[in-house]
Amino acid sequence: MPQQTFNALTGKELKEVILQKISEELDLSGDFGPHLTYPWIKYDFRVRVLSYPRQAVTSDPDVKAEATTISNIPERSETIHEIQVTNEQIIDTPDQARADHNLPIPTATPGPGGVLVDKPVTPKLPLKRGK
């Protein structure tokens, strides 16, 4: 019977797991619905990740890595690696925040009978140069 391998999360996978969990938690709050508006916002966040010491993964075909199987998962380590990401933002120009994050900007547009209605317009991102 083949042994089951133990596959640690990559940094990219861990980032996706964390972002999905944050999104789920925000969805549970009644404060982030489309019917609520915020003309001025200050928010901060702190993400703290504790793990056993991380290991670099190589894509070099000349470097042979031994598969970690369920029977040889790394022992619990006395050394804990800590990652902290913090940020604080103030948003006092909502349309600029929308443009910075490629969100539609409500734009007053003549509607039926000449009445102005908000039409969402997605800003065009500048072309990235290089590579």
Same domain, 99 and 38: no
Q: At a CB cut-off of 8 Å and minimum separation 6, what does 101 contact?
A: none
Which tens digits make up the pLDDT trace of 106-127? Answer: 888 898 898 998 888 887 766 5
Same domain, 14 and 55: yes
CA angle 57–10–49, rounded 5-degree value: 120
Tell me the C-alpha to C-alpha distance, in Å, between residue 78 and each of 51, 52, 74, 111: 11, 8, 12, 66
Structural domain count of the chain: 2
Which tens digits make up the pLDDT trace of 44-79? Answer: 999 999 887 666 665 555 555 454 544 555 566 667
Sign, Cα dihedral of 57, 87, 24, 93: negative
Same domain, 103 and 115: yes
Same domain, 6 and 59: yes
| pLDDT value of residue 70 | 47
Rounded Cα distance, 74 and 53, in Å: 10
What residues make up the domain containing 71?
1-92
